[in-house]
Structure 1
Amino acid sequence: MIRVLVVDDEPQLLRALRINLSARRYEVVVAADGATALDLAARHVPDLVVLDLGLPDMDGTDVIAGLRGWTKVPILVLSGRTDAADKVDALDAGADDYVTKPFSMDELMARLRVLVRRLESEQAAQQTAVIGYYTVDLAAKTVIRLPGAPEDVPEQIHLTKTEWAVLEILVRNPGRLVSGKHILQQVWGPAYDAQTNYLRFYLAKLRQKLEPEPSHPRQLITEPGMGYRFQP
C-alpha cells in the first residue's frame, strides 16, 4: 500500500484528502504544520508527499529542503500561491509537481498516479545491487558471487526471510537514510518500533554474510541515532 503524507493547515481540506485518498486505497498520514510533517516523515517514511506551502510554523519550501536532506520521495505541492516565482522556488527546492488551489480532486489524483507510476518504475529498476563480492537479486532472492571475486568467497549465500526483508528496504532506497522505526514497522509491525536490538542483530548478520570486512562496513551503514543506509 502506498503511504501518502498530506501536509496542510486547513482541517476541512485535510479531511477531504484523507477520505478521497483512503477510498483509493492509499495509506494516509496527515500533518497540520511543517515540524510535525518532518517528524512524521522520519518516523513513518512516506512513498509520496502532498504539501501546502503556507504552513503556520514554516514555509513549505523549508519542509521540502528538510526532506531532500535525506530522501528522494516524490513531493506534490498543493498551494494557493499562483505566482510563477513561487512555483519555480518550490520546484527548485526539490518538489516534483505543483497544483494550485482551488483544484479538481480528479486532477490531483491523476497527478498522484503519475508520481506513483514513476515510483513503481524506479523500484522495479532497483531489483539488483552489488554488495561486497556479491550480486544481490531481490526478485530471484539470490546472492551470487561476482566474477573475479577471490576464490575463498562462497559461490552463493543463503539469507533468511527476515534478512531479505531488512535488506530489501535498504537496497530499494539506495543512498537514503532509512529510520530504524520504519524498518521495524515494515518487517515486524507497528508494535515492534522500539525493538532496536532486532535491527542490530540482523544488520550484524547481513554484514557478516555480505561485507568483506563486517567490523568496518562500507555499504550497510549505521547512522548513529538516526537509522541505516545502503551505500551502493
Structure 2
Amino acid sequence: MVSLHEQLATLVENYTACDISDALLKLQKVAEGTAPRAGYLADLTPFSPITGRNDTARKIAAPATTFKFLNKGDNAPAIATESPDKHGFPPGKHWVDYAGDFQDADPANAGSIIVIEQPDEQYCAVTGGIMATRMKYLGIKAAVVGGRVRDLRELQGTELPIWARATSTVGTGAEAKAAVRDVPISVGGITVSPGDIIFCDPMEGVVAIPRDLLGDVLEIMPKLIRMDEQAKEAVAQGMSVTDAFKKFRA
C-alpha cells in the first residue's frame, strides 16, 4: 500500500495546483446551481519566504491543522468550551502553542500545514513574527492564512512558507481571537477539514484536497494531463481549439 508520504511526494514532484483542480472538477459533486470551486483557496499570495507568485520557492503538500478566529467579543463555539483540550484554548494558553498537536497525533506522520480562518471584515493580522517562529520550531511545514499577516521581514526570516490574503500593521488583539481548533473551517468559501491535504504551489496557488479523494486525484491526473498535452500539441500544429478539445477531451 502506498504511504501518505509517498503520495505527497508524488504530488509535489509531478503536479501543479492547476492539475489538482482539473482532477477535482471531475471528482467532486457540487450542489445544483453552485459553481465548482475545485478546491481552490482563492486570492492567497505567498508572503514568505518570497513575496508574490514565483517559480523559485518549493511546492509543499501536507495535512491541514485548522484554526478559526472570531471577533474579539464573540463567544467561542460550544465545541471549544465543552472540549477545551481538543478544540479550544484553556485560559492562559496561546493558540499557536497548539499548532503541533494534530501532526503529533496523526499516525501518518506527514507533518502539517496550519490553515486559519479569519472573519472577512477584520483588518488586524492573525499571524506575525512570533507566531511564525513558534510554528517553525514545532516543525510546521507552512501556514495558509485566510486573512491577514504582519511582520513580513520576520516572517521571511523564519523561511517558513506563509500564504495569506493580505497584510496589516495591527496586532491580533485589536479585534480578533482564536476561538476553536481542529474543526472544519471555511477559507474563501472552501471547507477545509483537519487532515485534508493542502497543496501550496508558489506559481499557481493553494488547493485543498479532501483526504478521502487524494488517491482518486493521483489516479486521474496523469490521464487528464496526457489529454491536455495532446490537445496542446495539435493546436501548435494548427488545429483549432474547438477541434482539439473535441478530439482529445471528449
TM-score under structure 2 normalisation? 0.27
Judging by fraction of residues, say which structure has more strand.
2
- Greater helix share, 1 or 2? 1
TM-score by length of 1: 0.29
Higher relative contact order (CA 8 A, sep 6+): 2
